[in-house]
Amino acid sequence: MFAPLHGRRRDGSAAFAVGGVFMLLALAGCGGDSKDSISITQQGSSVAQSGAAQATTSSQTAGSGSSGADSLDKGPTIGTAHDTVTTAGHYLAARQALYFNDVGQSADFFLRTLEDDASNVALLRQAFLTQYYYGDIEQAAALGRQLEGLNIVVPLGGEPATALALRNGDWPASIVLADRIAEDGQALAMAGVIRGWSLVAAGQGDAGISALLEAGRMSIDANTGMPPFFRLHAALMAERLGLVNEAKQRVTGLEADSLPSHVALGLATFHARQQQWDMVDRLIDTQLSRQFNQTDVRAALEQSAREVPTIQQHIAAAVVALVLSDKGNSGQSLAARLRFALFVDGSHHFARLLLAQQLSDYGQAEIALANLERIPDGGMFGQLARLAESAVVEEAGDTNKAISLMKAVTDRDPGNAYLFHRLGDTYRRNSMFRQSRDAYMTSLALGRDTGGLHRSLGVSLERLGDTQAAETHLLRAIEINPGDAYALNYLGYWWADEGHKLDQAIDMIERAVSHRPSSGFFVDSLGWVHYKLGDPARAVGYLERATELEPSDAEITGHLGDVYWALGRREEAMFKWRLALTLSDDAEEKALLERRLRTGLTAEEMPGSK
């Protein structure tokens, strides 16, 4: 029932996307593209305030004995051997490293370039930014001080020195440095958050709350209003000042909103300290996805009820919440602020989880895993860390370890239907269809009834030859979500390929294409069905479009070759088959393409022959 080549899955791609770590930013309510290339924004010079310069110097002196950023927060060790021997060579190596998203190597090369050309302002800016993105806060602070001495304003310029002051508890310096951060018009809210908490720490509570709420007013969105974490942190400030009734009043009703998970957990932690356990349980039940182990979260909240957070912990949480609420953040500013938060509070597991995601997205799987391993089992984020680990190692090709990690998670939280769905997905992506079927059935038995689960179960059952049950579950997936393009495409292709319910089949595929018009796989399905039904003239346009959308897919390219042959365009067919042969890494598919190149299509393979 598969297409004439090796049989791309009709769910629309070679495999459904790996989940886990790639879902975390969505879980956090975060915008921004984590794959933006690093760039420098050229800004005009301005005179830095003398007080900020003095505060920076004071902070640097106070922090001179502290260590740099944790090596797991950074990339590979600086000083990796390389064969560049000139300033130009270092610079070109730095730019190449940026191109490949190797921020660690780029930071090293830019520093080496700067050694030979210390007066080059553009290099100084680039070195500062790469050191900050790389996570060396102390080195970035030193470079920021050099820029300030030259009266050069650079995006994020005051943040590393501020992180040093915060970690050292130098609140007067932090207040002054927050003003320096505010010189970057895009960082006014961050400056307000830092200034607010620093004022609270310095004994100026009312001024601190006012500074925080002013930052909140600057962050109001026309559609969603003020991000909810501002209300939470105003309450936390009041709590810190001993104004418990005011603190409770400030968060009254906040639990009724739809909250990002990290904000919901912050609110639950506040209520746990107030011994309001009914509210804690309500937040766990209504605000957290099933990626969390709710038993572990409850235990962690019971523990946190006996602890008083430090100002540094509050600031780190506020910075992470702020950057996640800002949909305009680039991937680099997100990464920098995550490193900022971890420098101020190394125990911020949620920031480490998000940093690991970014490292994985940049292709730095080993460092991502090292960060994830620092998030212990249990606690609020242990289960998310293990799910993320499974996704990273599966993406790296270690299927057995990915499955082992997923099974350990399900063993720890055996009543969680979501986890068995995830386990089934891991099995299915690796063509272990009996195991995936069993995991999906367990998820169903535990009460999960989502379109995605029925679609994935249907795919597994079809691969096992249980066609009647497969069809039932695929239809249920479409019933739950009529716009499920993957289920529509899969079932429509299946029916059309067997000559079953042809009108409905083509309608399903057309609906799939209407929902995902930029999917070359779905467009290919529509063209291929028309070809199989004996209409290559109608199919060719779809398949040409599919190859434009997916130019590196061997099967789609081979399909177009078949259609060209059926239309008598033999030279074009041979060209496409040769191209498909170079794109393929599947032995069976290659053998078929080689036969095509020798003999063309047989009479039995021509459209409409069956």
Cα distance between residue 230 and residue 251, in whole Å: 10
- In-domain check, residue 507: yes
Q: pLDDT grade, residue 186 (50/70/90)? A: confident
Of 109-123, 285-299, 497-511, 521-535, minimum mean pLDDT range: 109-123
Residues ≥6 apart with Cβ < 8 Å to 86? none
CATH number (domain holding residue 498): 1.25.40.10
Where does a domain end: 481, 515, 532?
A: 481
The answer to whether position 292 is within a domain reads no
Closest CA to 361 of 21, 17, 103: 21
Dihedral, CA of residue 222, residue 246, residue 203 and residue 305, to nearest 10: -100
> pLDDT > 90: what percent of the chain?
64
Q: Is 220 left (phi over 0), alpha (psi -120 to 50) or beta?
A: beta
pLDDT per residue as tens digits for the range 402-415: 999 999 999 999 99
Q: Where are the beta strands (DSSP E) in 167-281?
A: none
- Domain boundary (426, 456, 481) is at 481
Lowest mean pLDDT among 57-71, 144-158, 212-226: 57-71
Tell whether 456 and 427 lie within a shared domain.
Answer: yes
Section 105-112 average pLDDT = 46
Same domain, 458 and 556: no
Q: Is residue 525 part of a domain?
A: yes
Q: Which two tokens stand for residue 281?
A: 């349980």
3 state DSSP class of 429: helix
* 449, 511: one domain: no
Per the document, the length of the chain is: 610
Q: Which two tokens stand for residue 455?
A: 């679609």
In this predicted model, which residue has the larger pLDDT, 573 or 110?
573
pLDDT at 48 over 60: no
Name the domain boundary from 433, 463, 481: 481
Q: Tokens in use for 45?
A: 């010079």
Q: Is residue 514 part of a domain?
A: yes
Residue-range definition of the domain harbouring residue 472: 416-481
Residue 133 lies in a domain: no
Mean local confidence (pLDDT), 95-109? 44
534 and 604 in a single domain? The answer is yes
By mean pLDDT, which of 74-83, 151-160, 457-466, 475-484 is the weakest? 74-83
Mean pLDDT for the stretch of residues 337-341: 94
pLDDT value of position 2: 32
Same domain, 437 and 494: no
pLDDT top residue among 134 and 35: 134
Supply φ then ψ for residue 43, to 5 degrees.
-125, 155
Residues 381-390: tens digit of each pLDDT: 999 999 999 9
More confident residue, 516 or 16: 516
Indicate whether 68 pLDDT > 50.
no
Query: Is the per-residue pLDDT at 60 higher than 60?
Result: no
Same domain, 552 and 501: yes
| Pair 501, 607 in one domain | yes
φ, ψ of residue 32 in degrees (nearest 5)? 105, 150
Per the domain annotation, does 399 fall within a domain? no
Query: In this structure, what are the phi and psi dihedrals at residue 406, rounded to the nearest 5 degrees?
Result: -65, -40
pLDDT value, residue 328? 67
Whether the Cβ atoms of residue 10 and residue 122 lie closer than 8 Å to each other: no
599 Cβ contact list (under 8 Å, min separation 6): none
Beta bridge partners of 225: 221
Q: Which pLDDT belongs to residue 329? A: 66
> How would residue 121 be classed by pLDDT, with cut points 50, 70 and 90?
low
Residue type for position 304: S
User: Is residue 455 domain-shared with residue 570, that is, in the same domain?
Assistant: no
Q: Distance from first CA to last CA of the chain, Å, rounded?
A: 12
The amino acid that residue 129 corresponds to is: L
Is the pLDDT at 345 greater than 70? The verdict is yes
Q: Is the pLDDT of residue 102 over 70?
A: no
**Across 476-502, average pLDDT:** 92
- Of the pLDDT bands very low, low, confident and very high (cuts 50, 70, 90), residue 33 is very low
- Domains held by the chain: number: 2
Mention every residue, 6+ apart, whose C-beta is less than 8 A from residue 180: 48, 49, 52, 55, 56, 157, 158, 161, 162
Q: 268 in a domain, yes or no?
A: no
Residue 491: its H or E element: helix 485-497
Any domain includes 575? yes
Give the C-alpha separation, 159 to 164, whole Å: 9
Q: 222-265, pLDDT tens digit by residue? A: 888 899 999 999 999 999 999 999 999 999 999 998 999 999 99
- Span 282-308, mean pLDDT? 96
The C-alpha R_g of the chain, in whole angstroms, comes to 28
Co-location of 446 and 497 in the same domain: no
Alpha carbons 424 and 47: distance in angstroms, whole number: 59
Q: CB-based contacts of 601: which residues, under 8 Å, 6+ apart?
A: 562, 565, 566
506 and 580 in a single domain? The answer is yes
Find out whether 543 and 563 touch, Cβ atoms under 8 Å.
yes
Phi and psi angles of residue 225, each rounded to the nearest 5 degrees, phi first? 80, -155
* Nearest partner of 557 among 599, 592, 603, judged by Cα: 592
And the tokens for 275?
A: 């011994």
508 and 444 belong to one structural domain: no
Same domain, 509 and 571: yes
